Amino acid sequence: MDILVTGGAGFIGGHLAERFARDGHSVVILDNFDPFYDLDIKEHNVETGREAAQSGGGSYELVESDVRDAESVKELVAGVDYVYHQAAQAGVRPSVENPRKYDEVNVDGTLNLLDACRETGIERFVMASSSSVYGKPQYLPYDEQHPTTPVSPYGASKLSAERYACSYGEVYDFPVVALRYFTVYGPRMRPNMAISNFVSRCMNGEPPVIYGDGTQTRDFTFIEDVIEANVTLLEEDAADGQAVNIGSTENIEIKTLAEEIRDQLAPELELEYAERYDADSEHTHAATERAGELLGYEATHTIREGVAEFIEWYEANREWYEPLVRRS
């Protein structure tokens, strides 16, 4: 199959492109190499994708462009069967400082892709949405019927993008699925995330820093589980036109997470606390019954298992990965 992965040099997009290439598909990735975090990590993702294509018999092509470039997007979409839209301006906290950019990339960029899809015709459009669309919980775990009242410009932009996508699919008659990710982590993850920061600091004898009192909770989802949900949509059409949660079905207090990482790596350290950011969600927790029914989805990693696997990967790749985390 011919597949376009936007944001294909990023964390989730990089793993997705790698999997498709290893499975023998023809993969084109679009990425603008925005310096939101150290670009050397993106270079590693690209190299891993190329190696996967060589070993798996697929093909891998990198196009350095931007979803905001409508002409480039139109040309790329015309040559593929599936679009996996992972590109986005990431970051809840930075979105408070520059909300207009989040609208330009996450909303207008998505519209460029959708316009190209309706003109060309594709097998399926799969987009990365976010648990940030839910905002303050009225109940937990969040199911897909929970009110969507995002509390950050980032969350608002992702909600707008997924609503546009589902409405385009309905009006212009092409299959669309929005996957609402819950805090994805794992090998080659963005260096400015809580888990990577906690691990790096502990490995270097520095205490983990918690923003707020640590009682906020998160549903962390291991990257392999996210990739499996996406790959299923190459064949499965039961979820078309819907938004679907992809999470781990459990959550953990940030303080407990920091303590468990600290206890594994540097038990002598004390935790440190800093002021909480207003845009940060208080709690996230995914109900995944819809994903189970429609996609056969089942998370295979508990948070503790996934973190242990990430620590093992970190130690094996510390030489190249840690300097990038430390300077981000």
The set of catalytic residues is 154
Backbone angles phi, psi at 253, to 5 degrees: -65, 140
Token duo for residue 56:
């798996």
For the four alpha carbons of 110, 113, 119 and 124, in that order, the dihedral sign comes to negative
Cα–Cα distance list, 311 to 202, 241, 288, 317 (Å): 11, 37, 26, 10
Question: Which residue spans within 170-317 are E strands per DSSP?
Answer: 176-181, 184-185, 209-211, 217-218, 221-222, 242-246, 252-253, 272-274
Q: Which string of DSSP letters, residue by residue, matches 230-250?
A: HHHTTT--TTTTEEEEE--S-
Termini Cα distance of the chain: 36
Q: How far, CA to CA in Å, does 310 sit from each of 65, 126, 304, 305?
A: 31, 26, 10, 9
Distance CA 152, CA 24 (A): 39
Distance CA 74, CA 122 (A): 12
Bridge partners, residue 28, by sequence: 4, 61
